Amino acid sequence: MRLEFRNIHKTFGQVHANNDVSFVVEAGTIHGLLGENGAGKSTLVKMLTGFISRDSGEILFDDKPVLIRTPVDGIRQGVGMLHQDPLDFPALTVLENFRAMAGGRWYTAADLRKLAAEFNFDLDPEEQAGNLTVGERQQIELLRLLALGVRTLVLDEPTTGISAHQKDQLFAAMRTLAGQGKSVIFVSHKLEDVEEVCDYATVMRRGGVVGSLPVAKGDDTLAARLVDMMFGRELALPSKPLTTTPTPALVLEDVVLEDERLSIHVPKFIAPCGEVIGLAGLEGSGQRLFILACAGVQAPSRGQIHLRAVNLTHKPYAAYQDAGVCYVPADRMREGLVPGLTIQEHVALRDGSGEFFLNTTAMQQGAERAIAEYKIRGTPTSFVERLSGGNQQRTQLALMPPDLKLILMEHPTRGLDIDSTIWIWKLLIDRCAQGATIMFASSDLDEIVQYSDRVLVFSGGQVSEPISTQGLTADRLGEMIGGKF
């Protein structure tokens, strides 16, 4: 189905989030939607899917204007959106989830297996949804949307947090759907992904459309042109200078990390001051356990943890904070930020005056500093849930206290545009130069290779010895994650 956006406008208070957006998505194509954080991409696709209403303008399917006011209207018109965090029930099985949301028809396990097989998804209908990886939950969601008869599919940053294999499966599914004449809109910050899977790309900037262009395979100039359209200039990747010193910062001794599924033994691990350590592995391979233990959030079942010669073994989270540990979680809206609170209220939470009344002047000033320094598009009184995805991530990073000794992060640049990613890493490298040690987990292997000094690979219930990133490629790292050492 051919889809056209015609002169779409949307404002939120002062913000003109979509300003006269017009472009066409041809039937049977995959169309990339790119643009800096806050450019207006999610706003546009939310209007298409009926999650929010537009102020003016038209959406046309095969040249006929359509009215989509709610997500149910959207589904009726054949538009479905794959959410980054799928909307499922963790306590139900895959099959039960599928039935609950696939509208009307009674599916059997065999039906579901057959549907999954069409896309080479390996889903077990009897498995509990809570045990699945993000990528697998995404697969159920995709099958569900197809069962509902979706002909236009929107994916908003779907490749963050899924494995390389799941990404291949997802891209193959997108191609199959386009081959059936469906139109697919793919919102992404990853230029490699856009080059790999899209037929066309449209770039947005500050609410407007900069332009649309065809994506020809093997076009070396494409990435540079897209970057120029997005940011109006070239970007250069920073290389990490050597900031590592001989002084040990974090020392783990004979540590055992456990949850219901895993038990990982770390005989000895030393991270010096100024070093960046990347944690690589499929989601759920123990990286999170490792980070939570080093953050003092979840005590290891055995072993000793020291930071700069302070014994933190069995100490509460507050002792870790006092020792200069900061943990930036992956799920920013559930763990990192508090929905319903403004940026300045978050500053107050961080600074904690110790007095009964809040000092609103200090809160506001603190928030203004954070907004200016981290270039957050928002005001001190913006509610965090109303910020764009990338701006929520900036807010989370802006709330990091000064003078940290150990910074622990999960997917630090998830959802950030390329320019912001580069800039955040410059700030993080500065922290290393001041002596902080950084450990981060990321599903982006290029990011791990680019910025880490050493890598720990989590695979098959084990953690590797630290591996230097000198001469290491993302492909080689991918093999190690798959168990090929």
| Interface with Mg ion (CB under 5 A) | 42, 389
Q: Interface residues for ligand ATP in 443-472 (CB under 6 A)?
A: none
The 3 state secondary structure assigned to 209-265 is EEEEEECCCCCCCHHHHHHHHHHCCCCCCCCCCCCCCCCEEEEEEEEEEECCCCEEE
- Residues 6+ positions from 70 with CB-CB distance below 8 Å: 50
Element holding 97 (H helix, E strand): helix 94-101
By C-beta, is 243 or 393 nearer to ligand ATP? 393
Smallest gap from Cβ 375 to ligand ATP, in A, equals 12
Smallest gap from Cβ 420 to ligand ATP, in A, equals 9
390 binds ligand ATP (CB under 6 A): yes
* Number of shown-chain residues binding ligand ATP (CB under 6 A): 20
Smallest gap from Cβ 22 to ligand ATP, in A, equals 16
By C-beta, is 244 or 443 nearer to ligand ATP? 443
158 binds ligand ATP (CB under 6 A): no
377 binds ligand ATP (CB under 6 A): yes
CA atoms 48, 49, 55, 61: torsion sign: positive
384 binds ligand ATP (CB under 6 A): no
φ, ψ dihedrals at 106, nearest 5° = -90, 105
DSSP letters spanning 370-430: HHHHTT-SS-TT-BGGGS-HHHHHHHHHHTPPSS-SEEEEESTTTT--HHHHHHHHHHHHH
By C-beta, is 17 or 201 nearer to ligand ATP? 17
By C-beta, is 39 or 438 nearer to ligand ATP? 39
Cα dist from 336 to 125, 328, 399, 455, whole Å: 33, 7, 10, 25
Strands 30-35 and 183-187: parallel
In 3-state terms, the chain is what percent helix, strand and coil (to 5)?
35, 25, 40
By C-beta, is 249 or 384 nearer to ligand ATP? 384
By C-beta, is 46 or 288 nearer to ligand ATP? 46
Report what 387 binds from Mg ion, ligand ATP, none; CB cut-off 5-8 Å by kind: ligand ATP
Among 29, 37, 342, 396, binds ligand ATP (CB under 6 A): 37
Smallest gap from Cβ 253 to ligand ATP, in A, equals 41
Rounded to whole angstroms, how far apart are CA atoms 353 and 367? Answer: 15
Among 3, 8, 15, 82, binds ligand ATP (CB under 6 A): 15
Identify the bridge partners of residue 202 per DSSP, sorted by sequence position.
33, 212
Smallest gap from Cβ 185 to ligand ATP, in A, equals 12
By C-beta, is 303 or 415 nearer to ligand ATP? 415
By C-beta, is 93 or 388 nearer to ligand ATP? 388
Q: Interface residues for ligand ATP in 391-410 (CB under 6 A)?
A: 391
Residue nearest to ligand ATP (CB): 390
From the list 358, 332, 356, the residue with the least C-alpha distance to 410 is 332
Per CB under 6 A, the segment of 58-66, 237-245, 329-337, 382-390 that binds ligand ATP is 382-390
By C-beta, is 201 or 463 nearer to ligand ATP? 201
85 binds ligand ATP (CB under 6 A): no
Length, in residues, of the chain: 485
Query: What does the angle CA 475 – CA 283 – CA 456 come to, to the nearest 5 degrees?
Result: 60
386 binds ligand ATP (CB under 6 A): yes
From the list 87, 200, 80, the residue with the least C-alpha distance to 147 is 80
One symbol per residue from 38 to 57: x for binding ligand ATP (CB under 6 A), - otherwise; what is it? xxxxxx--------------
Per CB under 6 A, the segment of 30-38, 86-94, 116-124, 129-137 that binds ligand ATP is 30-38
Among 93, 388, 437, 469, binds ligand ATP (CB under 6 A): 388
Residue nearest to Mg ion (CB): 42
* Dihedral in degrees, nearest 10, Cα atoms 104, 105, 108, 112: -90
From the list 107, 109, 164, 114, the residue with the least C-alpha distance to 135 is 164
Smallest gap from Cβ 368 to ligand ATP, in A, equals 17
Rounded to whole angstroms, how far apart are CA atoms 193 and 187? Answer: 10
Q: Which residues bind ligand ATP (CB under 6 A)?
A: 12, 15, 17, 35, 37-43, 377, 386-391, 415, 417
